Amino acid sequence: MRSKVALITGAARGIGNRVASELAKSGMHVACLDQDSGLLHKQVRDLQSNGYTAFPYEIDVSDPDQVEQTIEKIERDVGPITYLANVAGVMHMGTVDALSNDDWTHTFSVNATGVFNLCRAVSKRMIPRREGAIVTVGSNAASTPRIGFSAYAASKAAATMFTKCLGLELAPHNIRCNVVSPGSTETEMLQSVLTGEDSVQQFIKGVPESYRLGIPLQKIAQPIEIANTVLFLLSDQASHITMQNISVDGGATLGV
């Protein structure tokens, strides 16, 4: 994987930040994409100060023109993209009657359409090179109904099935596509729905009245635990794995 180009969306924070850092540490040239300019440039400066090769690209993944222009620039200035990690995501919580049109549209525009935009732009360049691997970070919510998660869960389910279909289409071109589905992970997104230590324990133990499953491993995941799975699926160690969805959720979805 050394010296090849990897593109990571949502690279400024959380899981995306850790995926970008670990790929850079492995010797790759990482193109870090995010909409948060301040955090994005801080992430890249930190990587560069440690001797790693990283480049910042401020982008709205829901805008297909921005995506196409950015991919063209990366391929021209950094090199051919071999690896793509779709990590960018947003979450709007609320019961269906409380969700606004904007909540629904924004959730799908980033979590599903953003994945489509990136995969389309990158894969069409991978095809003639007959080389590449794509990983989409989904969610275990995509397969387990939860109260207040309808928009998020539906968008992640869409991204998951899209990535599997893409994997089938790209298999003849020696390009692999897989999904990593985290459960509750220590990120700013999770913190936005927690209200304190009692809330953390509720996530771990489960909340029967809201049909939330507990976590058998009795802990919230750390971003590195998700990033390690992403790196494995991008690497040649996973050279015969495609169209798979690996849950990294401490057993929360009971292996289903």
Catalytic residue annotation: 152
Distance of CA 65 to the CA centre of its chain: 21
| Rounded Cα–Cα distance for residues 159 and 155 (Å) | 6
Token pair for 212: 């939330």
Is residue 58 a contact partner of residue 35, using CB atoms and an 8 Å limit? yes
Backbone torsions φ then ψ of 88, nearest 5 degrees:
-55, 135
User: DSSP alpha helices (H): ranges in the chain?
Assistant: 14-25, 37-49, 64-77, 101-111, 113-129, 150-170, 188-191, 197-205, 223-234
> Quick check: helix, strand or coil at residue 9?
strand
Is residue 178 a contact partner of residue 163, using CB atoms and an 8 Å limit? yes
Is residue 114 a contact partner of residue 107, using CB atoms and an 8 Å limit? no
What residues contact residue 24 under an 8 Å CB cut-off, 6+ apart?
30, 47, 52, 53, 54
Nearest CA among 122, 114, 120 for reference residue 138: 114
